[in-house]
Amino acid sequence: MGYEGVSITVSPYEESAYTPILDGLKEFNRGVIGEIGNDRLVVVAKDEAGATVGGSFGALHLGWLRVDVLWVAESYRGKGLGSAILAEIEREGLARGASRAMLDTFQFQAPEFYKRCGYVEYGRIKDFVQGYDRLYLEKKLA
């Protein structure tokens, strides 16, 4: 074995434990594809009283907009707010240099909503949790 004298242990999930691992991977990746950004962005929808009633957040990474979360309060669903929020995060992603967007959702969440907004399913994990599939979708922005 080529790793004699190396100990392998489980460590608490602390920055001091994972940072050297992440930094090592980033250094390797930069050697292949150059600098990798991770520009985060947040879109917030507030009602007249200033309460958050929806929003989305994600990041720009390697020319992609990754939509991590999109949420709309129950009382605003079905009224176009989700589409407006998604359009705004896509617009901002495009303005910041993303040409494509990706996201994942569960079968019980909003896959048909995303498909109506132009997303195409490219992957699925069947029975991911409690009988529900996890879907992976993408969309060309430019």
- What pLDDT digit, counting tens, does each position of 2-45 carry? 899 999 999 999 999 999 999 999 899 999 988 877 899 999 99
Question: Domain residue spans in the chain?
Answer: 39-140
Neighbours of 2 (CB within 10 A): 4
User: 93 and 62 in contact (C-beta within 8 Å)?
Assistant: no
What is the fold, at CATH topology level, of the domain defined by 39-140?
Aminopeptidase (3.40.630)
| d(C-alpha 124, C-alpha 135), whole Å | 4
- What does the pLDDT look like over 36-83, one tens digit per residue? 778 999 999 999 999 999 999 999 989 999 999 999 999 999 999 999
- What does the pLDDT look like over 101-137, one tens digit per residue? 999 999 999 999 999 999 999 999 999 999 999 999 9
Q: State residue 87's pLDDT score.
A: 98
Strand 52-61 and strand 64-72: pairing?
A: antiparallel
User: 132 and 107 in contact (C-beta within 8 Å)?
Assistant: yes
Strand 64-72 and strand 100-106: pairing?
A: parallel
Q: State residue 37's pLDDT score.
A: 78
Q: State residue 81's pLDDT score.
A: 98
